[in-house]
Amino acid sequence: MAKAGSSERPDWPLAVVVGAGGLGMVVARRLGLSHRLLIADRDAQLAEQHCADLRSQGYDAIAIACDVTSPSDIAALADAASAQGNVRTLAHVVGLSPAAKDFTAIMAVNLVGAASVAQSFLDVLEPGGAGIFISSSAAHMQDVPAALLPLLDDPLRPDFIAALAAELGAEANANQAYSLSKAALNRMCRRLAPAWGKRGLRIVSLSPGLIASPQGAESYKHSAGKMALLEAAPLGRECSMLEIAGVAAFLASDQASYITGTDILVDGGLIAAVRPGS
């Protein structure tokens, strides 16, 4: 039952949303229609401001500080979620774009952090629950060299980023970090599906195409080819954050109860247009 005089809904399941940026908060609002919310972000003040706004609008939302590059922060997040109980949904939205211009930081956040969160929540999510990891259509833009796959499939090895940088050599740049981290994230969700399934859990990646978001708008300044991609998209526009949040909510719902170990590409047909034979 709802708690009298408040927006608290202890009878609802919990959704953990990692990342309080633009897309993260749109996803949180959509999930918050049927979940309690635990919103995690490196910027604790930002997360708390968002949660205060949500509570004033009738959502059941609390904030926690979490830097996904910090194992201790991730462990604390898992413990906090477990203490709340009935953890049904994990929406991992945090990520860095090529605009970060830092190979190490992009790999650490987009892949190593995501893998660490996935590992920590395997014992936290309750049967019937789902982990949804926001990826990118960039994962589909190029073929990953077969020689890199064993390394990319082991992101939690202690020297992972250094070893990958050594393999790439001069190609260890921000753009490569972004596309490889997203391709490896999609592979991670496929690889983990059997182990998650044994716990009664589902895990999927969700790859938006060109998305109208603050981060997406910033990337036009750093990528000369992005406008050409927009012009190539069959639907002729970017997707909205609301559209992505709607797909995320569907994947978290019982309507998607047989969807796991796969990537959901929401790109307006972009990959079909630019890589028709892939």
Instruction: Summarize pLDDT for 136-160 with one digit per residue, the tens.
Output: 999 999 899 999 999 999 999 999 9
89-101 confidence digits (pLDDT tens): 999 999 998 888 9
Cα dist from 72 to 60, 65, 69, 92, 94, whole Å:
26, 11, 9, 17, 17
Q: Where are the domains of the chain?
A: 14-263
- In this structure, of 121-130, 155-164, 212-221, the range with the lowest mean pLDDT score is 212-221
Buried b (16+ CB within 10 A) or exposed e, 66-84: bbbeeeebbebbbebbbeb
Q: What is the mean pLDDT of residues 157-185?
A: 95
Output the six-digit token pair for 76.
């604390």
Burial class (CB in 10 A: 0-12, 13-18, 19+), 158: exposed
Query: How confident is the prediction for the chain on average, in pLDDT?
Result: 94
User: What pLDDT shows up at residue 213?
Assistant: 75
Q: What is the mean pLDDT of residues 260-272?
A: 95
Q: What is the mean pLDDT of residues 188-193?
A: 98
Q: Which residue has the tokens 């603050």?
A: 214
User: What pLDDT shows up at residue 2?
Assistant: 65
Phi and psi at 132, nearest 5°, equal -120, 120
User: What pLDDT shows up at residue 231?
Assistant: 84
Taking 90 as the threshold, does the pLDDT of residue 224 lie above it?
no
User: What pLDDT shows up at residue 222?
Assistant: 64
User: What pLDDT shows up at residue 240?
Assistant: 95
Taking 80 as the threshold, does the pLDDT of residue 215 lie above it?
no
pLDDT band at 113 (very low <50, low <70, confident <90, very high): very high
Give the residue from 86, 89, 44 showing the smallest Cα distance to 63.
44
pLDDT band at 20 (very low <50, low <70, confident <90, very high): very high
CATH of 14-263, one of 3.40.50.2000, 3.40.50.720, 3.50.50.60, 3.40.50.2020: 3.40.50.720
Taking 90 as the threshold, does the pLDDT of residue 6 lie above it?
no
HSE-CB for 256 with a 13 A CA cutoff: 23
Question: CA geometry: angle at 39 spanning 67 and 206, to 5°?
Answer: 85
Q: Are strands 87-92 and 61-65 parallel, antiparallel or unpaired?
A: unpaired
CA distance 103 to 193: 28
pTM, two decimals, is 0.94
With a pLDDT cut of 70, the percent of the chain lying above it is 95
Taking 90 as the threshold, does the pLDDT of residue 201 lie above it?
yes
